[in-house]
Amino acid sequence: MKYTRLTKEQLEELHQEFINFLATQSITGEEWKKIKKEQPQVAEEEIDVFSDLIWEGVLNKAEYLQNASAKQLFLFKLTTAQMHLIMVKVHVQDVDITTQEGMDWLQNNIQKDGVELFTASKPYGEDRNKDVFGLIQQGASIVDGTLYEAFSKFIGN
């Protein structure tokens, strides 16, 4: 398995897609019940293959990631050849940028001494989607890129 298995909740959400996936392999509902009962290992493998297909589709579409902690914000733009990073680091004790108040503070104090901005770009390794998935496993979320683009305009990237 290339990525991780979808959770039970995710599989339930993708129930119809899973049925379609089984149908592409000429597996009917009755056959699936039989496989689950008599060949649980084969059923597990089918779920793993389906999970990888779903992850691959999601990762192919991902354009922006974001990972935030109380004092740091990592914003990623994912292009075809490389990922671009804008990192915001806050050195002010009482500010938590994971809250709306903290983001408001950041917006009003972005050019003050207590805030550092860094940028970097890095080409992907052998597999773009594995690199992106690694960031997701470290806590990043797929986002719409609004924050990245706002910071990019601010710093002139």
What is the domain partition of the chain in residue ranges? Answer: 8-61, 64-155
* Residue whose entry in the numeric block shows the structure tokens 């500010």: 95
Residue 92, phi then psi, degrees to nearest 5: -100, 125
DSSP 3-state assignment of 145? coil
How wide is the angle at C-alpha 148 spanned by C-alphas 145 and 153, nearest 5°? 125
- What is the structure's pLDDT at 120? 97
Over the stretch 71-84, which tens digit does the pLDDT of each residue have?
999 999 999 999 99
* Global confidence as pTM: 0.88
Kindly report, residue by residue over 48-73, the tens digit of the pLDDT: 999 999 999 999 999 999 999 999 99
